[in-house]
Structure 1
Amino acid sequence: MRVTVAVAGEDTREVEVDDGATYADLLDPLPYGAHEVSVLVDGRPVPEDAPVEAERVEVLRLVKGG
C-alpha cells in the first residue's frame, strides 16, 4: 500500500508499507521517533499501533520546552 505522509510545515513523501503495517511503521523513513510526533488521519490522532487504513496521513511534530 502506498501512503502519502505530509509532515506539517515540512515536506510530503510517499511511503510504501506492507499489509498489516501500523502507523508507527510510517515513521521509519522519517527522522522522527514515535515520541516526537502525532500521526493524524482526517485531523484526528490515531494510535501508533493501529493498522494503516488511510491513504494520506499528516505527521505533526510535538514541541517540548521550558
Structure 2
Amino acid sequence: MEVTVELVGEATRELDVEPGATYGELLADFDVSPHEVSVLVDDRPVPEDQPVDAEHVRVVRLIKGG
C-alpha cells in the first residue's frame, strides 16, 4: 500500500507500507521519536501502535517548553 507521510514543515515522502505495519513504524523514515510527534489521519490523532489504514498521514512535532 502506498502512503504519503508528511512531516509538517519539513518533508513529505511516499512510502510502500507492508500489511500490518503501524503508524509508529512510519516514523522510522523521518528519524523522530513517537514521544516528540503526533500522528494525524484526517486531522485526528491516531495511536502509533494502530495498523496503517490511510493513504495520507500528517506528522506534527509537539512543542514543549516552560
Normalised TM-score (structure 2): 0.93
Alignment of 1:1-66 (within 5 A): 1-66=1-66
Query: In percent, how many aligned pairs have the same letter?
Result: 62
Q: Which runs of 5+ in 1 are unaligned?
A: none
Normalised TM-score (structure 1): 0.93
Q: Which has the higher helix share?
A: 2
Q: Which runs of 5+ in 2 are unaligned?
A: none
CA distance in 2, matches of 1:16, 1:45: 21
Instruction: Kindly report the root-mean-square deviation, in angstroms, between the aligned alpha carbons of the 2 structures.
Output: 0.8
Report how many aligned residue pairs link the two structures: 66
